[in-house]
Structure 1
Amino acid sequence: MATLQPALAFRRLRHGPLLLGGAVAGLLDLIWACSLWAFAGATPKLILQAIGSGWVGREAAVAGGWATALLGLLSHFGITIAMAYVYAGAARLLPALLRRPVAYGALYGIVAWAAMVHVVVPLSAAPANQSPPWAWALWANIAVHMFAVGVPCALAARAALAAREPY
């Protein structure tokens, strides 16, 4: 059984759990986005192109077809995997983050959502205001980031930093 050690700052990360946790967070977030935008008639391809528009702009993303959809897919999973690594880095400095991964993961999801909406997207080439027109969607997006992004990242960090049993 794995246990947590106090000297986490000097432990090596196990990358498998972080890659898996980031991928799970990315998949859950993408399923949510595709489900949400399906009500407005958007296809998964268009969702992925909207993500890819952060690199190339809206017109080039749509004109790029499946190539920019793939760029969006890789970018999306790259970001969510990076989110898992960021949480693990923070947990190395603040081991309490590992003791309550659901609570702190949910808080981290809010921080991650705010960073994406207020920093990453505005600094990208993506068009402004890609939010859905429904008032409830804001709170739903925050909740999804809390529990479908933040919590998997926190659980992944906990697994990545857990001490291995001696053989």
Structure 2
Amino acid sequence: MKSKGGAVFLSGLVAGTMDIVAAFTVYAFILHKTTPTKILRSIASAIFKKDAYTGNFSMVFFGLGMHYFIAFSFAWFYFVIYPYFPFLKKNAALSGLFYGIFVWLIMNLIILPIFFPGIPENHLDFPFLISIVILILCVGFPISFITKKYYSFR
């Protein structure tokens, strides 16, 4: 990881992949609440609304692309703020934990309500807790550890 762009790309790719695989595994295969295709179509529906569900299979790919765009955006943001906040450098695991919670807060309190105004409020239950754990383990940790590794070689 010699370049900043490469480090951001790697952390976004790892976080995006781990997050979507966790979502498929938990919500589609363990809880049987949905399917991987519906998960990706629901992401695409932020832009395409109902057409994401009635449109052709390309909507699945739009959803996947949007998912990775979000993951790369969070990776880029962490990478940018990292040098300015010394506490992020002290403990990558703790930083990843807090960044995963930060990502959950941004997604659930800002992004999702903007794109899905009728979304029901969260309740302290298993899906609520698992969504936070997924973002900590699959987004916060990889972004934190990859960013720390990049900056430690500088």
Pick the structure with more helix per residue: 2
Shorter-chain TM-score bucket reads 0.7 to 0.9
Unaligned runs of 5+ in 1: 3-11
| Structure of greater relative contact order (alpha carbons < 8 Å, 6+ residues apart) | 1
Deviations 1:84-104 (A, max 9, x none): 111111112113312311101
**TM-score after normalising by structure 2:** 0.87
Report the Cα distance in structure 2 between the residues aligned to 1:130 and 1:31, rounded to whole angstroms: 24
Name the CA shift for 1:126/1:53 in 2 (closer, same or farther; >3 Å). farther
Tell me the C-alpha RMSD between the 2 structures.
2.5
> Which among 38, 47, 54 is matched to residue 46 of structure 1?
38
Name the CA shift for 1:130/1:47 in 2 (closer, same or farther; >3 Å). farther
1:111 aligns with 2:111: no
Report the Cα distance in structure 1 between the residues aligned to 2:11 and 2:146, rounded to whole angstroms: 5
Report the Cα distance in structure 2 between the residues aligned to 1:160 and 1:50, rounded to whole angstroms: 34
Structure 1, 35-44 or 85-94: larger mean CA deviation:
35-44
Deviations 1:28-54 (A, max 9, x none): 111121122223352211110011111
2:129 equivalent in structure 1: 139
Report the Cα distance in structure 2 between the residues aligned to 1:29 and 1:65, rounded to whole angstroms: 24
Name the CA shift for 1:139/1:121 in 2 (closer, same or farther; >3 Å). same
Name the CA shift for 1:48/1:55 in 2 (closer, same or farther; >3 Å). same
Stretches of 4+ moved more than 4 A in 1?
A: none
Task: Answer yes or no: is the 8 Å Cα contact 1:26–1:77 preserved in 2.
Answer: yes
Name the CA shift for 1:125/1:138 in 2 (closer, same or farther; >3 Å). closer
Task: Answer yes or no: is the 8 Å Cα contact 1:109–1:149 preserved in 2.
Answer: yes
2:60 equivalent in structure 1: 69
Structure (1 or 2) with the larger CA radius of gyration:
1
Name the CA shift for 1:26/1:126 in 2 (closer, same or farther; >3 Å). farther
Report the Cα distance in structure 1 between the residues aligned to 2:86 and 2:3, rounded to whole angstroms: 14
Structure 1, 155-164 or 25-34: larger mean CA deviation:
155-164
**TM-score after normalising by structure 1:** 0.80
Where 1:65 maps in the other structure, the secondary structure is coil
Task: Answer yes or no: is the 8 Å Cα contact 1:18–1:160 preserved in 2.
Answer: no
Q: How many residues align structurally?
A: 152
Q: Give 1:26's aligned amino acid.
A: G
